[in-house]
Amino acid sequence: MKDKTKRNPLNIAYVGLRGVPGVYGGVDRVIEEIGTGLSKRGHKIVVYCWKSIYPRPVSTYKKIELVYLPTVPVKYLGTLIHTFLGCVSATRKDIDIVHINNLENAFFAIIPRLFGKIVVIQPHGPAWPVLKWGTFKDRFAFNLKIIASRIFLYSCRFPTTMLPHKVVVISSTDARYISRRKLDKFVLIHNGCNIPEPLPPDKMLSLGIKPKGYLLFVGRFDPRKGCHYLIKAFREMKTNLKLVVVGGPLEESYGRYIRKIAGNDKRIMLLGPVYDSLLNELFSNALIYVHPSESEGQSISLLEGLAYGNCVVASDTPESIETAGENACYFNNGDCEDLVRVLEELISQPKKIDDMSIKGRDHVIEKFQWDDKILKYEALYRSLIKH
């Protein structure tokens, strides 16, 4: 019998992200995995990419068709312009489903709907909280932008519930943020994670980083990731371990603040963004992976920390607990003193670190593999086509 997937391929367009291969953030990496998985199952996938980010454009990537559109190099405005152009372009293609990413793009769902396309919106996390970090001067301009974006994102909740056929949320927190009522439009599909093969130390040794001799943080530099709590806590600890921080940009206001509070502590290594095998090595050989996030949808880095077999310490946010369950150690969100307590207790208990490492990897294998998530997306899309 022939595979029905092969006989009835779907045509799906993804808009509202920077593009694939993912080089900017978690949303791009998520769509790369979904698109790659669906293309392997015979579906036609189109991803709209920022022309300015990919100086050497290619027409396809892992069987995904790539369409490059211009926009302005301004974070929020650039996203809105690019999504608008992507939605317009999708109406002119043989597309069944337009999958719009990020809450701020919800208003544009009206465009493909007017042309008879099925529309899915995926927020990828609640709005940014207004956080207190650094001096008032450090955070004034940054938080001013966040306040403006929160007002705008609040208004985006209404088209998100009204315009699409379905809303995919990656955590229960997403659904509660968008609507206090349970809506039939909501579909919960957690992010997935590929199970990596741990790498032995190589490049990291040349940087003076020894296996099991460091704590690790990986994440984009923005205040809600909570990196400042980790650095402040680590500076209070009496330990010979290093703290390896992977992320950036270091040049913007929050990055400058991170460098300021790291000070001259030689135990703290700010490596900037890392994407090659060095990142795999760092995940593979860390003593503890720390995820101090204050607010986000569902962290890919947290899943990767678990999948690499790290002992994970995370803030006790609903999103982190929903992801890691009993397979991580938690500290009170935003509490540096409690983070110091949890880390020092763990460091003094090597057997507990080993036990948590095994539990975390098994947890991801059981509940968060991408193959299972791809089937859920495919089932969702097919149900929309059917009805």
Q: Which residues in the chain show pLDDT less than 70? A: 1-7, 127-139
- Alpha-carbon Rg for the chain in angstroms: 21
19 sits in the region (left: phi over 0; alpha: psi -120 to 50; else beta) called left
Confidence (pLDDT) at 86: 97
Of 165, 184, 18, 161, nearest in space to 98 by CA = 165
How many residues are listed for the chain in this entry?
A: 387
Confidence (pLDDT) at 387: 73
Confidence (pLDDT) at 134: 62
Of 363, 287, 371, 288, nearest in space to 323 by CA = 363
Confidence (pLDDT) at 138: 67
Asked if 129 and 294 touch (Cβ cutoff 8 Å), the reply is: yes
Q: How far apart are CA 194 and CA 84, in angstroms?
A: 32
User: 145-194 pLDDT, tens per residue?
Assistant: 777 777 888 888 899 999 999 999 998 888 887 877 777 899 999 999 99
Whether the model clears a pTM of 0.85, i.e. scores above it, the answer is yes
Q: Which residue in this structure is represented by tokens 């980790």?
A: 230
Confidence (pLDDT) at 128: 57
Q: How far apart are CA 168 and CA 366, in angstroms?
A: 21
Burial of 144 (0-12, 13-18, 19+ CB in 10 A): exposed
Q: What is the DSSP string of 207-268?
A: TT--TTSEEEEE--S-GGG-HHHHHHHHHH---S-EEEEE---SSSHHHHHHHHHHTT-TTE
**Residue 215 β-bridge partners:** 243, 288
Burial of 24 (0-12, 13-18, 19+ CB in 10 A): middle
The DSSP secondary-structure symbol of 128 reads P
Burial of 168 (0-12, 13-18, 19+ CB in 10 A): buried
What is the per-residue burial (b if ≥16 Cβ within 10 Å, else e) of 274-312?
A: beeebbbbbbbbbbbbbbbbbbbbbbbbbbbbbbbbbbb
| Domains of the chain with CATH codes | 4-192+369-386 (3.40.50.2000), 203-367 (3.40.50.2000)
Burial of 126 (0-12, 13-18, 19+ CB in 10 A): buried
Confidence (pLDDT) at 59: 94
User: 227-270 pLDDT, tens per residue?
Assistant: 999 999 999 999 999 999 998 888 888 889 999 999 999 999 99
Encoding tokens for residue 96? 């069944």
